[in-house]
Structure formats: C-alpha cells, structure tokens
Structure 1
Amino acid sequence: MTTAPDPGYLQPPHHEVVDAVRRALAEDLAPLGDLTATLVPPVLGEARFVARTDGVLAGTACGTETWAQLDPAVEVDWALDDGARLRAGDVIGVVRGPFRSILTGERTALNFLGLLSGIATLTAAYVDAAAAGGDARVWDTRKTIPGLRSLSKAAVRAGGGRNHRGNLSDWMLIKDNHLGGIGITQAVATARDRWPGRTVHVECDSLEQCVEALEAGADAILLDNMSPEEARACVAAAQVRQGGGAGGGAARRTLLEVSGEVTLETIGEYAATGVDMISVGRMTKSAPTLDIGLDLV
C-alpha cells in the first residue's frame, strides 16, 4: 500500500537549498548588486506566483530561501505545497515586502520553481503512464544538472517518483564497463567481501547475464535496453529461482529494474512485465521548464 508522503519527504536537504540559492544569487548580483532595482522607489509591494500551465509544483523551499538571503523583511506565503497538481491560473503563493527586494529575487526564485516543477511534472507523467500498465515504480538516475542533484531528486519525489542512488558512494552498480576485466559472479563476490553492508546492483543486457547475477546473489539487477519480452523472461527466471516478486509470494526476490530509452508510450508495457522499477534519465536531464510567473498586485 502506498501512503501519501509527508511534506518533509518531498523537500531537499535544507543545507543544499541554502547553498544552491547562495550560488544563484551570487551569479546574479556580483559585483554591484541589482542596478535596475535602485531606480524603484523604496515602497512596499506584493506579488503572486501564478501557474501559466498545468503541472506539478516543486521548489518552494528555494523560493523561500531566495528572499531569506536577500532581505528578511520579505515574507513568502505559499498557498500550495510541493507535490500539488497545478492548473493554469492557480495562485501558488504570495510575496510581500520591500518592492525592490521582491524584484531582485524574482528571477532566481522563478528559475528554481520552473526547473524543479518541470522535473516534477514530467515525473508525474511517467508515473501515471506506468500505473496504467502495472505496479512498477518509476525512479530517476544520476543524469542531473551538476550541483543540483539533491534538489532534482526531491522534485522527482514531488512528482510521485522514487530516487535511485544519489551518488557513487550510496551503493555499487556494476555496469558493463566495470565487467571488462571481471565476471559478474566474481564482481558480486568481491563487492560482498569489501563492502558487506552495501547494495550490489548489476547491469545485464541478456537473459544469460541476468541468470548469472541472480545466482551470484545480486541485490538488484538492471535490465539494460531490453525489450518488454526480454524483461518478462528475466522476471520469470527470477521467480523460478527465488520465488516471490512483484505481486506476492513468500520470498523477496532480487529487485529488477528496466532502463534504457523508456518513453511515455512504452513505459506502461514495461510496467506490465512484472519488473519492480523503471528508471528514466529524461526526467532530470531533459524536462521542460514549467511556466510560472510572478504577477504584481
């Protein structure tokens, strides 16, 4: 059973938000600050974040942090939380305070909101398409904008997706290039010996490799660029050898992941094969920005 996530689960680590916003403001304001804003009278103002198109919201923490660093006199009041489904015209939040400061932080806040909401929106599309075919979860990859990985992965969670490993230290993913000088069985055994508390994940591009990884005791197997028919055969092989799997059974079998050029049109078919996870790099590397504006009141 899937429960509704609490708001904290959908947010990136606070220190990552602080650092990302600090860097964004520095590249916008160095060395002399916002020259144009000095032309504006020092009065109070109010503006509203408004969704221009349908989508899923993410990145509110970055919006709040933008003005927290710029001017604590600015108040940001969000009407919606990350993960909310947006309709064009929805008011997402309101910003109140010194007009100059509102204008200075506008683009930085909108850049984060548009980028991260775009990731959440595309993720939700993949999650919905997968659900039409089966119970497989959709998760991301390490194909992220450098320096913004934890924010991007939080946006994936906001869109209903799950997170693959965050970095190379999380767990071992033994890919084809790693197998150039070592076989799957030996690689899994060595990984177990050197890092006994870590997940051992093996990339396979054939049923034969999948069977070897299953028998070697891999925790997870990535079925790389396989057709739905090939993925289904790997699921059957895992069930024969280990029992259990997606949909029931007493034993918990090796987690099976499909990866490689999965599209919105094909993800439902892959989900129907019985695999556990489907990874989609496009969600974090190619998502279009969601159109969100800041309208003065």
Structure 2
Amino acid sequence: MRRTATFLTAMAALALVLAPALAEARAGGGFSSGSRGSRTYSAPPSTPTAPSGGTQFNRTTTPQPGSPATSPAARPGTVPGAAPNRGFFGSFGGALLTGGLIGALLGFGLFGGGGGFGAMLGMLLQIALIGFAIMFVMRLIRGRRPATAGGPAPYAYQAQPEAKQFGGMGGMKAAEPVRAGGPLQIRPADFQDFEQTLKDINAAWSRRDLQGLRTLATPEMVGFFAQDLRDLEARNWRNETRDIRLEQGDLAEAWSEDGEDYATVAMRFSMLDATFDNATNQVVEGSTTQRQTATELWTFVRKGPGGRWMLSAIQQTQPA
C-alpha cells in the first residue's frame, strides 16, 4: 500500500510540473477554442493549407445540440468564456492537498508508520520537494541562458528577411465561397482584414493588452486569452510573438446565420515566439532568433455586411 501511495503522489507531482512545459504559450495556447455558430461541432472542410482539417474544440461556451445551455453568469466573478480561475487550491496547492489525502488514505504518506495530521504534513512537504526538483531539472533541460553579470538585459528579436507572399492578397488565397446557410462572398479586402487581425491579435497578446484584444475578438475568445495570460502570470512568465508573417492561407467555408456572417480561414504563419521568466528576463521556451511555423483555422464573425470582422475561434489542425 505504501508503494501505491508513493507512486500516486510522485506521478501527481510530475504531471503538475510538466504541464507548463507541454502547453504552448502563444496566443490561443495551442488549444481549439471559441465558437463557429451553428457549425461549432461540425468540422471545417479541408483546404490546401490545412488538408487534414481541424480538431474538435477543447474550450467553447456553445452547448452541444440537445444539451442544456449553461450560463457563465451563474458563477459570480467569472469572465464569459473563461475557464474558472482556480487559484492556489485549484492548481498547485490543490494537487498537493489531493495527493496528501490519497497518500494518507493509502498508507499515511511517504514517511510510512506515521499517523494523523503530522504524517500528512510530512508527506506534503516531500511532494513539494519532488515538484521543485523536477521543475529545476526541466528548466535545465530547456536550456536557460545564464544571466549577465550586470543583471538581466532585454532580449532583442533578430531581424529576419521578408517571407515570400502567396496568392496575391497578402498571402491569402481565395477559394470558391461556400454558400450553405446563406450567400456570402468573401472579397480581397476581407482576406486583408483576416491577415491584419492575425498580426494585431498577436501584438496585443504580446503586450498583455486585454483592452486591445476586446476590439479584435469576441468576449468568449477574450475570456480564454485572459485565462491563458493569468496562467502564465502564475508561473511569473510572459510570452511574446513577434514578426508574424502569413505564409499561406485559404478559405475553408463562409456562411451567414441569424444576421451574422462567418468565415473560417486556414492560415499557415511563421513568427518569432519566446517565453520569458519575468524575474530574470531570460528565455525559458522558444527563441528570439529562430522562426517557428504554425497552421491553424481561424473563424471570424461580423454583424452583417459592412461590419467589422472579429475573431470568434481558433482551431488547431489534425496531424498529417
């Protein structure tokens, strides 16, 4: 029984510490988030840019057909569309407490032979030590650069040569628009708006500018962005994406419903993506000089013709 308790508590600590390393820190967090109106639970058509299509949504406030709707307003203090802010007892402290209770029930913790409250406290201390040790090792593996003798200096993003543009519309190719659900023509100016929004979203994200994000995305998406920023801040990290370049893009589908226009666009873009430790200003993930490439499906919505396109969803693509 003691071996079982030791294994469970060690695995809980390991999973807790490794979780930040496995998540992507850039805007969207590597999740499929948001809503596509009535097509939220329908896969977008494949395109040359995203031939394998998109993944199902990990985070959305749109209820599945046939399920009762739930209102974020039912929980006072929550942001619409945001995951609950769990705080200490919902994240690290909660995992430790849960691990402690499991250990206490399965053998009075890692010390063994102890009993009651003192044994539980001893076991929690050991879990914390294990977690901090794993975190230290993971940071070494990530290759943190040493701080300079005069203190941390801001990293400069290296200038990159201009990327080749495709499609003659700022990198976006126009596919034949899908007219199911209402006729909708996506024009060259719309593609330019999509590309500019891609850049503006990443710029506001890098500034941690929620007010700026509110002018570019739906309240649901802003809620998800806010939660991701809080998660980074809890680790005393920040993420910055610079020099966003649309390498290729095309239209997956476009339609109208309930007085709103929707367009889902596949975009492959490159960027300089780096996550910093706020205490040292050192890069803990990514790079300020080596470009990274991502392919995502972005859905935009507007209040009818003439309205402004707002980001309503980001979907990750299926593995090829």
- TM-score scaled by structure 1? 0.22
Structure with the higher helix share, 1 or 2: 1
- TM-score scaled by structure 2? 0.21
